[in-house]
Structure 1
Amino acid sequence: MVQQKIVIEVPLHCAKCKKKILKICTTAKGFMSLTTHRGEEDRVEIIGEGVDAARITERLREKVNKYAKLVRVTKIEE
């Protein structure tokens, strides 16, 4: 399978929210690594194989914050 990089914009308000976000992202099937970026637009970058980006975004909206936006999904060529 081809690795993919998923970028989701989601507010990282507090430690409790961040913990929920990490749990949702790291338990996804095919997950390999995760990076968070703080700034004007808080973002989460997920790298994995066959990860369902739409499902992760949907779960983030349900469990953490109504505002979670899938920014992009790109293939990582090796």
Structure 2
Amino acid sequence: MKQKIVMKVYMSCQKCRNKALKVASSANGVSFVGIEGEDKQKVVVIGDGVDPVKLTICLRKKVGQTDILSVAAA
């Protein structure tokens, strides 16, 4: 089942955004990764069988503070 995960990642620069995209795209089952929102703080991940908790932990370790905003079927 495809799911859409929206996370708020506190990123201050373009280098941080690129790193967050790279980390999110390296997770198993990810088919789309993007950044949205007015302040470019939301990372959207769409994929099949993606574990949102593991992805959040990985983003916290490599980028910074990360919060899960929503997990829904895509």
Q: Does TM, normalized by the shorter one, top 0.5? A: yes
| Residue deviations 1:31-58 (CA, integer Å, cap 9, x gap) | 0001201425710110000001111110
Distance 1:22 1:57 in 2: 12
TM-score scaled by length of structure 1:
0.85
Q: Percent of counterpart pairs with the same letter?
A: 34
SS at match of 2:57: helix
State the one-letter code of the partner of 1:60: L
Alignment of 1:48-59 (within 5 A): 48-59=47-58
Judge conservation of contact 2:21–2:34 (CA < 8 Å) in 1.
no
Amino acid of the structure 2 residue aligned with 1:71 = L
Matched residue count: 74
SS of residue matched to 2:32:
strand
> 1:12 Cα deviation (Å)?
2.7
Amino acid at match of 1:73: V
Measured in 1, the distance between the counterparts of 2:61 and 2:38 equals: 23
Query: In 2, Cα distance between the equivalents of 1:45 and 1:8?
Result: 7
Distance 1:49 1:33 in 2: 10
- DSSP-derived class of the 1:73 partner: strand
**Counterpart Cα distance in 1 of 2:40 and 2:19:** 18
Q: Which residue pairs with 1:42 in the alignment?
A: 41
Stretches of 4+ aligned residues off by more than 4 angstroms:
none
